[in-house]
A and B are shown apart, each in its own frame.
Chain A
Amino acid sequence: MPSARTAIELKNVIKAYDEKASALDRVSLAVREGEFLAIVGPSGSGKTTLLRLINRLAEPTSGTVRVEENDVSVADPISLRRGIGYVFQGIGLFPHMTVAENIAITPLLIGWDKAQRAARVEELLQLVRLDPGKYRERFPAELSGGERQRVGVARALAAQPKIVLMDEPFGALDALTRDALGRDYRELHDRLGVTTVMITHDLTEAALLADRIIVIHQGHLIEEGTPHSLMTSPKHAYVRELVETPRSQAKRLAALMKGAAEQ
């Protein structure tokens, strides 16, 4: 359950446009501990920039970013990143390392011994529903897209982070795998009690997984709310448009299924 304590806080963050990042204009938001927050927006809206500000893969032009109440601009970026799980669409598994070595990388960096790392790999592979005996010694090239992303999630969770950042984590997967992985992850989120910030351009995915949704549009935070409030009473024109598609799809599907039942 989300507690009252704040895990991540952005205050009046401005990020001037440069070649590496889209701009953000005076964005403020707070994520509670244990919360699952989804950030939705079209490509180029600045949502990836927002996520990268949290683990200092990007630096704000002005404003403050706090993680567990500490200003990240004075934190050591390396130890900050080791304490935050990071999953992104490209996955970026190290192709010359086995699945086990990939998963154990952050524990290795922070000095866990071999036995601890092996036990952790075992545990995580089971957690992401991959048979350890079968997958431990495989190389990334020998895995399917879904398997790779499961390993990516396991790698992000390996050093027991309290915060997990996910950037379009399931974007490249087929619909079935994507749904299964999303639900599996939500279950992990609840079981491990982590705080998750997930970026997606798919409102349906956000609505089905997250506790709360934030919509970013052209660098501005234009709306936020629970999946329920956003789906039922969107205020901003762009969000209304965004909501329209899944709503009409849901209606047509419901009608189709009703029709099928009457036949």
Chain B
Amino acid sequence: MSGVDPRFYDALARLPDYLGSHVLVSVTALALGLGISLPLAIIATRRPYLRNLILGFASIVQTIPGLALLALFYPLLLVLSALTERMFGAGFSALGFLPSVLALALYSMLPVMRNTVTGILGIDPAVTEATLGVGMTRRQALTMVELPLALPIIMAGIRTAAVWVIGTATLATPVGQTSLGNYIFTGLQTQNWVFVLFGCVASAALALAVDQLLALMESGVSIRKRWRIAIGGLGIALIIAAALAPVFARPAATYVIGAKTFTEQYILEALIEQRLQAEGLSSARRDGLGSVVIFNALANGDIDLYVEYSGTLWANQLKQTEARPREEVLAEIKKWLSENYKIKMLGDLGFENAYALAMSRKQTESRGIRSITDLARFAPQLSIAGDYEFFARPEWKALVAAYGLKFREQRLIQPEFMYQAAAAGEVDVISAYTSEGRIKQHDLIILDDPKRAIPPYDAIILLAPKRAGDEKLIATLRPLLGAIDVKLMQEANLRANGSGRESSPEEIARWMWSEIERKNRPR
């Protein structure tokens, strides 16, 4: 057994939860999709105009990337939820299950509708004429002749839809729906390739199994072998039952911890979860949420707490462009959150994960650059690389305005590769995250920001409105406040780049806690 990677067992332990949620969301979406697209297609076979309309619509939906479609439903539902809140006094959760089901249902419609229409229209005209000749009503012709004859083609469409839905459901993770995609998203962020592979294999195996069982049922229908229909149906029922058992058997978690899509967030999430468990509080995780999604989820009470960064709220929520001293920013945010959302800002963890400009030590020393003011003089000869959003963010505009920065060249690079690129001299300046472990690893220098153009990015714990007065939770989290300095976080993030058991977020979180306790002891 020693040859097996320990991360494999970790993945296996999460399987009941991930698979169960994956099956639940897929089956619901497929049922909803079938319930809509089958009748619609049947109606449309007799109405050419409607047929072109719905098939055209379904085709357009199909061209939207799965991830985008899922993401689109979230704001849509938020608006709806706000509307129902106003009209009926009760909103609903716009996160996770609902947007996933709706988007996936929409995604499943094209193959089912196209095959149903093709199947029915493809019936020999003589047979259609005969249904009239023998005196069948429209409904009888449909149920006794047209549907049975089109069934193999319709079933083929359902199989395609099932495979698509099961595959695309892995993309439901970023909108807050637990699925087999959690392995893939977490794995990609923490460079845990065992997880990535495990997620891919598990979702492919599920899709294949369902496809084959449906194929068995389909062949049973077309050659009138009841046992094939029975075995296929039983197999699918078993998969559903087995997958759903843990979902319903699982005790409802008291606290749901959210995390964004990068390593540091996974580590802090694990750290918080371990603290809650140590105090006997049950918890669940919602990994891989987008920046806007996670804030709305907290405000809506879909998650109970997460770690945010003051500068993000400052720019995205408070719509501030001016950078002010960190204490002021924190105080203002705290007040604003409480007044507008009743969200409690518990406090800061003690480190910043800010945007900053960084260069290799060699570059700074040879040119004598220590601050962004120095950099501005050399900028026209230098190239700068940023992550995908950096150059569109208010921080960049503030930097340009404050220092009059103008570079020779601007490039976009995946964050994981930026630091190495700067160290190797492929680019001169990068937009770094201050808590990133690779800064130290690659011996990069963070340039001073004397004009304070970039707002502070203190890591802060936010509590959902319903947890604002939860004394037990607050007492549990308090030891973390101010306990994590940037050095500790950098070291933790660096550890996560490794590829052993010790690089899992859980192990790193345990190590961090031991460090925190060690520091506290002498006092």
Contacts and interface: CB of A to CB of B under 8 A. Distances in A.
Interface of A: 55, 57, 78-83, 86, 88, 90-96, 105-106, 109-110, 155-156
B134 A105 contact: yes
Contacts of B125: 90
Given A94-B145, A96-B148, A109-B140, A81 B135 contact: yes
Nearest to B127: A92
Nearest to A105: B134
B129 A109 contact: no
17 contacts: A78-B137, A81-B132, A86-B133, A86-B134, A88-B126, A88-B129, A88-B130, A88-B133, A90-B124, A90-B126, A92-B128, A94-B144, A95-B149, A96-B145, A105-B136, A110-B135, A156-B133
B135 A106 contact: yes
A217 B486 CA distance: 98
Nearest to A140: B127
Nearest to A90: B126
Nearest to B136: A109
A153 B67 CA distance: 58
Which of B131, B136, B149 has most A Cβ within 10 Å? Answer: B136
B149 A155 contact: no
B149 A57 contact: no
A57 B132 contact: yes
B127 A95 contact: yes
A80 B137 CA distance: 12
A34 to B, nearest CB: 22
Which of A78, A92, A93, A156 has most B Cβ within 10 Å? Answer: A92
Contact of A92 (B126, B135, B140, B144): B126
Contacts of B134: 81-82, 86, 105-106, 109, 155
A178 to B, nearest CB: 18
Interface string B150-163: 00000000000000
Nearest to B149: A96
Contact of A82 (B130, B131, B135, B149): B135
A158 B145 CA distance: 18
Nearest to B135: A82
A91 B132 CA distance: 12
Nearest to B148: A96
A80 B148 CA distance: 26
Given A57-B132, A81-B132, A92 B137 contact: no
Given A55-B133, A92-B124, 15 more contacts: A78-B136, A81-B134, A88-B129, A90-B124, A90-B126, A92-B127, A92-B133, A95-B149, A96-B149, A105-B134, A106-B135, A109-B136, A110-B135, A155-B134, A156-B133
B129 A90 contact: yes
A92 B141 CA distance: 13
Contacts of A55: 133
**Taking chain B's interface residues, is the majority helix, strand, or loop, or is none over half, making it mixed?**
helix
A145 to B, nearest CB: 13
Contacts of B149: 94-96
A155 to B, nearest CB: 7
A88 B137 CA distance: 19
Contacts of A155: 134
A209 B129 CA distance: 26
A106 B144 CA distance: 12
A173 to B, nearest CB: 15
Which of A79, A91, A156 has most B Cβ within 10 Å? Answer: A91
Contact of A93 (B130, B132, B136, B144): B130
Which of B126, B128, B131 has most A Cβ within 10 Å? Answer: B126
A216 to B, nearest CB: 21
Which of A82, A94, A156 has most B Cβ within 10 Å? Answer: A94
Contact of A57 (B124, B133, B140): B133
Given A94-B145, A95-B149, A96-B148, A79 B127 contact: no
A81 B127 contact: no
Instruction: Please name the 3 residue pairs, one residue from A and one from B, whose CB atoms are nearest each other, closest first.
Output: A92-B130, A90-B126, A82-B135
A162 to B, nearest CB: 14
Contacts of A57: 129, 132-133
A109 B137 CA distance: 9
A110 B145 CA distance: 17
A80 B134 CA distance: 10
Contacts of B144: 94, 105
A49 B140 CA distance: 25
Given A96-B148, A96-B149, A91 B130 contact: yes
A16 B259 CA distance: 72
Contacts of A92: 124, 126-131, 133
B512 to A, nearest CB: 67
Contacts of B124: 90, 92, 95
Contacts of A95: 124, 127, 149
Contacts of A90: 124-126, 129-130
A176 to B, nearest CB: 24
A81 B145 contact: no
A91 B135 contact: no
Contacts of A93: 127, 130
Nearest to A109: B135
Contacts of A79: 135
A81 B135 CA distance: 5
Nearest to B128: A92
Nearest to B221: A96
Interface in B87-127: 124-127
Contacts of B131: 92
A91 B126 contact: yes
Contacts of A94: 127, 130, 144-145, 149
A242 B66 CA distance: 67
A57 B131 CA distance: 11
B141 to A, nearest CB: 10
A91 B137 CA distance: 19
A94 B124 CA distance: 10
B130 A78 contact: no
